Amino acid sequence: MARGFALYRRLIAAALALTAIVIVFGAYVRLSDAGLGCPDWPGCYGKLSPAHAAEHILDAHSADPGGPVSLSKAWKEMVHRYLAASLGLLIIVIAIMAWRIGPGPRVSLRVAVLLVGVVVFQGLLGKWTVTLLLKPAIVTAHLLGGLTTLALLAWLALRASGEVRLQAGGAGGTAPRLCMVARLGVVLLFAQIALGGWTSTNYAALACTDFPTCHGSLWPEADYANAFHVVRELGMTADGALLSNAALTAIHWSHRIGALVAGSVLFGLGAVLASRRGMQSLGVALSGGVLLQVSLGIANVWLSLPLGLAAAHNAGAALLVVVMVSINYKLASSPGRVRASLAAMAA
């Protein structure tokens, strides 16, 4: 059993690393306009690889040299699919091993099974991303699904490692309010990632090319009414008209406002944690990660979204997710203890 548990831990670590690679490489594929490099799913023109479909790809490229299909783009898209499929199989193996080992203080069968469900849904989102021609809602949901997978794997890894948790109200423990701020931080982080995904998938990253202003204003002209319709085609309003520059500005500016709100909360949380016993390293990592992510966002605007920096911005989001999961895991105490502590504070 001990050998089986050691393998279980190694598989979780491998899956965590592979998930990070899939997320960043997926961003690279999207940002290099290779998301439709193979216009069908799961194969490429019904073939196992672009090498087998080379004739179809070259014909499509010849017919539309500036279009989404080319041999290099097809390989980028298929490598991403191969990596994602490998991750899916690895997560299924982890769930099987969790079932064989059995639930315990360092194994969560429920989370492992939940991960399988998330990955299956991710596969469907990957399919719909291609077959529904990069609809912003689908692509953004695909990004959030990838980061949810990363968060759940990080939680499994922490539990399997036997990481010590701090209990609210105990000696050297944490205040219930700090636990609630940490949970709020996760909500704000995922909301900001959703705004970032919406900005990227609508190609609004360069709707504002100056900083800190946008078009020279701190409150630029923007069309919020059409910016956030969820069910619509790429580049179109819900009525089928072309999405205006004002709508793209609204998307971009909302992402900046979200960064200000979420970044302030997370940086403040990191500063507080950096002064608390047992949480110093995570606090420093959180504050440093926020500063890095903000710097990457500014650099992307100033340098007109270079591919490497844009992919690094996605990597920064993944890093913050892992840090916030680690913070919440370590701060976590049972809901009953939190309620009891809050009642004691109120009394």
Of 124, 140, 127, 160, residue with least CA distance to 14: 160
Structure confidence at residue 167 (pLDDT)? 57
Of 41, 49, 198, 203, residue with least CA distance to 126: 41
d(CA 11, CA 7): 6
Domain end, chosen from 138, 163, 188, is at 163
d(CA 6, CA 2): 6
Tell me the residue range of the domain where 315 lies: 166-347
Percent of the chain with pLDDT over 90: 88
Contact 194, 257 (CB under 8 A): no
106 and 252, same domain (yes or no): no
Q: What is the mean pLDDT of residues 152-177?
A: 76
Per-residue model confidence as pLDDT tens digits over 51-89: 999 999 999 999 999 999 999 999 999 999 999 999 999
21 and 73, same domain (yes or no): yes
Structure confidence at residue 344 (pLDDT)? 41
158 and 206, same domain (yes or no): no
Alpha helices in 202-334 (DSSP H): 224-227, 245-273, 280-302, 307-331
Which among 55, 77, 163, 221 is annotated as catalytic?
A: 77
109 and 174, same domain (yes or no): no
10 and 77, same domain (yes or no): yes
Of 110, 164, 118, residue with least CA distance to 142: 118
148 and 183, same domain (yes or no): no
Structure confidence at residue 164 (pLDDT)? 67
332 pLDDT band (50/70/90 cuts)? confident
At residue 221, does pLDDT exceed 50?
A: yes
Supply 328's token pair. 């919440």
Q: Is the pTM of this model over 0.85?
A: yes
Supply 302's token pair. 């100033």
248 and 329, same domain (yes or no): yes
Of 238, 218, 212, residue with least CA distance to 227: 238
Of 24, 65, 58, residue with least CA distance to 44: 58
157 and 175, same domain (yes or no): no
58 and 37, same domain (yes or no): yes
111 and 215, same domain (yes or no): no
Domain end, chosen from 139, 163, 187, is at 163
Domain end, chosen from 163, 182, 215, is at 163
* Count of domains forming the chain: 2
177 and 310, same domain (yes or no): yes
1 pLDDT band (50/70/90 cuts)? low
32 and 107, same domain (yes or no): yes
At residue 174, does pLDDT exceed 90?
A: no
Structure confidence at residue 345 (pLDDT)? 37
Q: What is the mean pLDDT of residues 171-191?
A: 85
Reply yes or no on whether 77 is catalytic: yes
Rounded to 10 degrees, the C-alpha dihedral 101/106/108/111 comes to -130
